[in-house]
């Protein structure tokens, strides 16, 4: 790969080293991340699943709007906090939409509920 380099990364969980192709100037920390992403130990596999779940959840909320908004940033912050187990569940309300994001056995669950009640005042 052009401008790439071959380096060794150490899995964050089991300490196994793997050879990775990384861009020039990749930090050891990033190399460890890449090595963990390709390790097959149980903890690394759980970690990979968590990261993939986080990524999919982020992609999902991005589809709601083409614009980058504070609302989207807030949802992504919640997704990350849940993925990193800092939060178990969060419910946010935007207008008539209620979004509940929770941890479901290590996967991120997003529930969107519309409350369509009609009320008119004349
Ligand atoms: Zn490992």
For the chain, how many structural domains are there in total?
Answer: 2
Q: Please report the pLDDT score of residue 27 as a whole number.
A: 94
If asked whether residues 61 and 107 sit together in one domain, one would say yes
What are 56-104's pLDDT values in tens digits?
999 999 988 777 788 899 999 999 999 988 999 999 998 888 999 999 9
And the tokens for 12? 């964050």
Rounded to the nearest angstrom, the distance between the alpha carbon of 23 and the centre of ligand 1 is 22
46 assigned to some structural domain: no
pLDDT, position 4: 81
Answer for the pair 44, 14: CB distance below 8 angstroms, yes or no. yes
**Domain co-membership, 73 together with 107:** yes
Domain range for 8 is 1-40
Residue 41 CA, ligand 1 centroid: distance in Å: 4
CA 72 to centroid of ligand 1, rounded, Å: 33
> What is the C-alpha to C-alpha distance for residues 22 and 77, in angstroms, rounded to an integer?
28
End-to-end CA distance of the chain: 68
Q: Are residues 116 and 60 in the same domain?
A: yes
In this structure, the answer to whether residues 28 and 72 fall within a common structural domain is: no
Are 116 and 72 within one domain?
yes
Task: Tell me: do 61 and 88 sit in the same domain.
Answer: yes
pLDDT interval class at 3 (50, 70, 90): low
Question: Model pTM?
Answer: 0.73
17-44: per-residue pLDDT in tens? Answer: 999 999 989 999 999 999 999 999 999 9
- Shared-domain flag, residues 76 and 119: yes
| CA 35 to ligand 1 centroid distance, Å | 8
45 within a domain of the structure (yes/no): no
């Amino acid at each position: 790969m052009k401008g790439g380099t071959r380096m060794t990364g150490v899995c964050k969980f089991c300490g196994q080293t793997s050879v990775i192709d990384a861009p020039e100037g990749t930090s050891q920390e990033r190399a460890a991340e890449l090595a963990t992403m390709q390790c097959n130990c149980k903890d690394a596999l759980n970690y990979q699943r968590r990261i993939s779940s986080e990524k999919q959840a982020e992609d999902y909320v991005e589809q709601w709007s083409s614009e980058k908004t504070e609302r989207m940033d807030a949802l992504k912050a919640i997704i990350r906090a849940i993925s990193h187990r800092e939060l178990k569940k969060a419910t946010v309300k935007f207008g008539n939409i209620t979004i509940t994001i929770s941890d479901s056995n290590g996967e991120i669950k997003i529930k969107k509920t519309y409350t369509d009640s009609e009320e008119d005042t004349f």
